[in-house]
Amino acid sequence: MPTDRPLPASPYKLFDVRLKAKAPLSRHLWRYTFEGKEVRQMATLAPDQRIKIFFPDPQGRPPALRHTPDWYAEYKRQDPARRPPMRTYTIRALRAEAGEVDVDFVLHGDNGPASAWAMAAQPGAPLQIMAPNAAFEGDGGGYEWNPPAGLGRLLLIGDETALPAIAGILEELAAQSAPPATELFIEVGAEGDEIPLPAWSGLKVEWMPRGLAAPGAAMIAAAERASLPTAQPARAPAPALAEVDVDEAILWDRAAPEDNGFYGWVAGEAAAVLAIRRLLIMERKVDRKSLNLMGYWREGRALD
């Protein structure tokens, strides 16, 4: 029977935005502020909130996806030569009342559509963003940071692509009355890529410039020396650790901690995160339920 009842709001929606400003945070990390009247309807649920950004197509035409529920099916049907490239980013700050959202970009030359756009873009440049819809009443997901209440110890390992999320996580923790003891290892491209971060007495931060080393090598070495909880005798054999082909699939293990003693959040180059996954779970006997392990990118491939 026909009804005039409005359709429920979708968890995500498409936002038309324009670049308002850009500013350097470090040698290779820049902050881009986007504006648009629809951004007042945007939401963010966690400091590692993921969004999709659509960039100009190979001919330089700005993205113009239709605002329709089946946008993704339409997107996939488009000729790849005309389809706007899609990449995943993190909301660094949302000022919905002002219609503004900040996104931090790692600039690595013109060897990718996102970095190439970011290096050349000037205020006024249009883009489209798929982000959480404030009108949606449930939890739309798109984030992994969900530590247990009363967390005692935290391990953070990431590279520069994870730095925006990590900076947001630290800001959230620093605002607490008693932040957890936290060990943070950040691999960045070079000297000069460090940025100011919140601090408290129980926070240990190690910056690891990569230089000419392989991406993720410093992250793996950090996982080998990180301070971890003492392994407890297992009540039952641990389930086998499923292999992940990071050249064919996205590595994405989500934590489901059963206690508040320890929590880990690891993100960066997928092959490195895969090695850290094996090292922490199989060799150092960390409960896999206490670990978020996320392959944000894969060297030589576009995961999106």
User: Given strand 181-188, what is the order of strands in its sheet?
Assistant: 203-209, 181-188, 153-159, 262-269, 291-297, 252-253
Task: Using the structure block, give the residue that is written with the tokens 């009443």.
Answer: 137
Q: Across all residues in the chain, what is the average pLDDT?
A: 92
Separation between Cα atoms, residue 166 and residue 47, nearest integer Å: 8
Residue 224 predicted with pLDDT over 90: yes
Task: Using the structure block, give the residue that is written with the tokens 């944000």.
Answer: 296
Domains and CATH numbers, the chain: 12-132 (2.40.30.10), 153-297 (3.40.50.80)
Strand partners, 155: 183, 264
Q: Are 255 and 264 in contact (CB under 8 A)?
A: yes
Residue 6: strand, helix, or coil: coil
Using the CB atoms, write b or e for 68-100: b if 16+ within 10 Å. Answer: eeebeeebeeeeeeebbbbbbbbbbbbeeeebb
Lookup: tokens for 184:
């943070």
Q: Are 89 and 103 in contact (CB under 8 A)?
A: yes
Lowest mean pLDDT among 1-15, 78-92, 96-110: 1-15
**pLDDT tier at 93, thresholds 50, 70, 90:** very high
- In this prediction, residue 238 carries a pLDDT of 62
pTM score, whole prediction: 0.93
**pLDDT tier at 54, thresholds 50, 70, 90:** very high
Percent of the chain predicted with pLDDT > 90: 79
Angle at 217 between CA 242 and CA 279, to 5 degrees: 35
